[in-house]
A and B are shown apart, each in its own frame.
Chain A
Amino acid sequence: MNVKNAQPLEYSTHQNQLNILGFWIFLGAEIMLFATLFTTYFVMEHRTGNGPTGAEIFEITPVLIETFVLLTSSFTIGLGVHAMRIGRKNAMLAFFGITLLLGLGFLCVEIYEFVHYYHVGATYQTSGFTAALLTTLGTHGAHVTLGLFWGLFIMIQVAKRGITAQTANKSFIFSLYWHFLDVVWIFIFSFIYLKGMM
């Protein structure tokens, strides 16, 4: 495939540039969305009512697994975008596939974590704290779930149509989304789990 080095394929048309800029702006709104969730969580952190506190329910092992899995997936999607830029479709699909599998692994551990919370008596209705915790984690988890489907659709399109200006654009935007979810997770890891366990 002939790739112009001056400008990556995903930026090659005006509509593509608009899409990328628009998505960055959308990520600005997403930052505000998660900032509101974090604010709520900080307000609710110690408002546990009769329910358990964070220190009582958090477990380090699943959280560490989730963190490593998600951070690795951010790395692999970076490799996927690199493969796309040098025009290697199969390598790109492989890296995107690994990314989505890691995302799926993350989601499985998170579901395990939620079940664990349920069993130790931290349900959605227990207290202000659990409501804020589960809404914050759940919103992030819902984003990952949506990302899995979205990424799969893009992989199908790349497999069928090859690396074109349109599919490259979609893949690149998806990678932005995936990195963003990783950044949010770093905040969740630091300010919810680590802070809660200290």
Chain B
Amino acid sequence: MEFFERFAVPHPSPAIYASMVAIVLVSIAIVVGITYFKKWGYLWREWLTTVDHKKIGIMYLISALLMLFRGGADAIMMRAQLAKPENTLLDAQHYNEIFTTHGVVMIIFMAMPFIFAFMNIVVPLQIGARDVAFPRLNAISFWLFFAGAMLFNISFVVGGSPDAGWTSYFPLAGTDFSQSVGTNYYMIAIQISGIGSLMTGINMITTILNMRAPGMTLMKMPMFTCSSFISCIIILFAFPVLTIALIMCTTDRLFATNFFTSTDGGMDMLWANLFWIWGHPEVYILILPAFGIYSEVISTFSQRNLYGYKSMVGSMVIISLLSFFVWTHHFFTMGQGALTNSIFSITTMAIAVPTGVKIFNWLLTMYKGKIRFTVPMLYAVGFIPLFTVGGVTGVMLAMSAADYQYHNTMFLVAHFHNTIIPGVVFAMLAGLTYYWPKMFGFMLNERIGKWGFWFLTIGFCLAFFPMYITGLDGQARRMYTYSESTGFGPLNMLSFIGAGLMAIAFIIIVYNVLYSIKNSPRNVGDEPWNARSLEWATHNPVPEYNFARTPHVASSEAFWDAKKKGHELFKGEIEKIHMPNNSGVPFIMGIIFFICGFSFVFALWIPVVVSLIGIFACMTLRSFEKDDGRYISADEVKATEAKFGGAKS
């Protein structure tokens, strides 16, 4: 019995017990459901063993939506707790756990997979490739992400959630102040999914550098591909920093080393520095592909080519460089001295310049365009003013002297939500709607989608604008309650109502998916949006091999040129196509990584060693395996093309 006591939740509450029951019931229901409908074989063949970038993308997408639900539930609980003064809905410990998991889930397990979903689905199509450079590695990336996400999500029912904030600053996150295994979950779950992210970054860079269609030079890539490329370069240089920082944390907590302790030469600020050397580039890893999606959407629905292509690329390159030189602005108040703070103030404010260039480029793309207000375009148009507000408050926060007033207040919370929600979440929902026919061959319902957009936008404004005011008035973030005399009550109630509207928006969006699956006409055709770039030059949904013949490209808007200027995209005969083989090993590796991580969290060394051997066995197997892929014959390709309504010319 003593052995099992470690798995108990240290601060249980009825809600947690209810969650345990719900998790068990849902798991049983899923297993029974799959068995009843005899779908195990289908699941294994088509999804768990797939190396197809489109299917992996769809799995990322589903995971991201699930995690959005989890992180959103955390958010609603926080706003409910703060809705009135001296509320007793949650106690301090639960509030700590919830804001910690909200941050981690939303950044690492919602935004990242959302971005990776679109990178996976869209990038190979936009560059005219058959798949990514390393399809098997791509599957491993996904399953590592998934293992990390699941590991993090079971924390609150097995052993306790992390509670030291999503930044997990030391000494708070050390064993002296965080005794439960929660922070171990944080370290190890992020480590596992971080390795997956790094592998995706390497994979995408190689793909984009070496697998572009003939004629597509680097400066003729569609903007989403270009932004993904730059984002992946940031991943490549930022994630190893996190890997090392997390290793050091893990050894501090499990082996009592002295990296970040306050004694024996340890230095707690080292963690804060390393965390943000990864953490600040991380926000640009998220926002650049989002900018890419807005560029695609805005130029498609304004029916104009993207204004200032070169300046768009240039500003993203500058943003990617600057992103590594601003990390100190996250802790101006922690005593670096005036010179350091001033330098980091200036580099931070400098980021506003290339970002501003991009904003004007989007506006000028719309100028004199024939704008169609579809759902993706609504999100893009909503993004521009809201994101600008977020950017301007960012410049306010960047002024280190003034930051002493804003630091760790709700003003900061309002600022970064104001950039991430209109910046990343709106972009993902725009991309979801825009690429839905590409993925599934039918449209999402426009009318319901617009309801979702308006609920989300109004809810967002109601939820976060009041925080600017309470923050300037001195309401600190991460405080689980406040007294009535502060006068923060009414504005926080407003925030709660806004959060409720955003929750309704999420329900509407999910309902829209279900409604459209049932009711949307299936024959959407190949061109639902009158779009411009290469991914629309193939069928909807995309056949397994993407393009029957390799496209030849002469501009960044190859498909538009093919339509309007008579450019010939596809030349030559249909030939046999080489495809990679499916493999169950990535999925199995994901499971082993999950077991390994779980054992690490609880310092169960025998399963750790066994599962590590398992991981190396999988890698050895891969080394010795002869895998030359398979061919789809020309006749098969022709048959498939005919089924999709004739070959593309």
Q: Which segment of B245-253, B309-317, B389-397, B567-575 sits at the interface? A: B245-253
Residues on B with C-beta less than 8 A from A150 are 623
Q: Say which one of B153-161, B200-208, B442-450 lies at the interface with A.
A: B200-208
A43: chain B residues at CB < 8 Å are 267, 270
- Chain B residues with Cβ under 8 A from A40's Cβ? 244, 248, 259, 270, 274
- The smallest beta-carbon distance between B385 and chain A, in angstroms, is 37
Distance of A154 Cα from B623 Cα, bound (Å)? 8
> Given A22-B133, A150-B623 in contact, is the A33-B243 Cβ separation under 8 Å?
yes
Give the chain A neighbours of B237 by CB distance below 8 A.
28-29, 32
Produce 1/0 per residue, B243-274, CB < 8 A to A: 11101100100011111010111110010001
B237 nearest in chain A by CB position: A32
Q: Which residues of A contact B205 (CB under 8 A)?
A: 25
For A49, give its contact among B255, B263, B274 (CB under 8 Å). Answer: B263
Is the CB of A131 closer than 8 A to any CB of chain B?
Answer: yes
Specify which of A17, A50, A126, A135 is in contact with B247 (CB 8 Å cutoff): A135
Do A32 and B240 form a contact, CB below 8 Å, given A40-B259, A124-B255?
Answer: yes
A99 to B387 alpha-carbon distance, docked (Å) = 56
Contact of A44 among B239, B241, B265 (CB under 8 A): B265
Interface residues on A, range: 35 or more
Residues on B with beta carbons closer than 8 Å to the beta carbon of A154:
623
Is A36's CB within 8 Å of the partner chain B? yes
B265 in contact with A36 (CB, 8 Å): no
Measured between beta carbons, the chain A residues less than 8 angstroms from B247 are 135
Q: How far is the CB of B243 from chain A (nearest CB, A)?
A: 6
Q: How far is the CB of A133 from chain B (nearest CB, A)?
A: 11
In the bound complex, CA of A129 to CA of B265 (Å):
7
Q: Which residues of B contact A32 (CB under 8 A)?
A: 236-238, 240-241
Which chain B positions have C-beta within 8 A of A21?
133, 206, 209-210
- Please report the C-alpha to C-alpha distance between residue A131 and residue B271 in the assembled complex, in whole angstroms: 14
A49 to B259, CA, bound (A): 12
Q: Which of B168-212 contact A (CB under 8 A)?
A: 198, 201-203, 205-206, 209-211
A14 to B580, CA, bound (A): 14
User: Among the listed B202, B238, B256, B264, which residue makes an inter-chain contact with A51, where contact means beta carbons less than 8 Å apart?
Assistant: B264
Min Cβ gap B617→A in Å is 11
Residues on the B chain within 8 Å of A153, using CB: 620, 623-624
- The answer to whether A131 touches B258, judged by C-beta atoms less than 8 angstroms apart, is yes
- How many angstroms between the C-alpha atoms of A29 and B209 in the bound complex? 17
- The CA-CA distance from A33 to B236 in the complex, in Å, is 10
Closest to B247 in A: A135
Min CB gap B163→A, angstroms: 25
Q: Separation in Å of the B327 CB from the closest CB of chain A?
A: 13
Chain B residues closer than 8 Å to A29, beta-carbon distance: 198, 201-202, 236-237, 239-240
Interface check A104, CB cutoff 8 A: no
Complex Cα gap A153–B248 (Å): 31
Is B416 part of the binding interface, using a Cβ–Cβ cutoff of 8 Å? no
Q: Residue A37 at the B interface, CB < 8 A?
A: yes
**Which one of B238, B245, B265 contacts A47 once the chains associate, using CB atoms below 8 Å?**
B265
Q: In the complex, A166 Cα to B209 Cα: how many Å?
A: 21
Chain A residues within an 8 Å CB radius of B239: 29
Chain A positions 7-45 with a Cβ under 8 Å from a chain B Cβ = 14, 17-19, 21-22, 25-26, 28-30, 32-33, 36-37, 40, 43-44
17 contacts between A and B (CB under 8 A): A21-B133, A21-B209, A22-B133, A25-B202, A36-B240, A36-B245, A37-B244, A40-B274, A44-B259, A51-B265, A124-B251, A125-B256, A128-B261, A128-B265, A131-B251, A131-B258, A135-B248
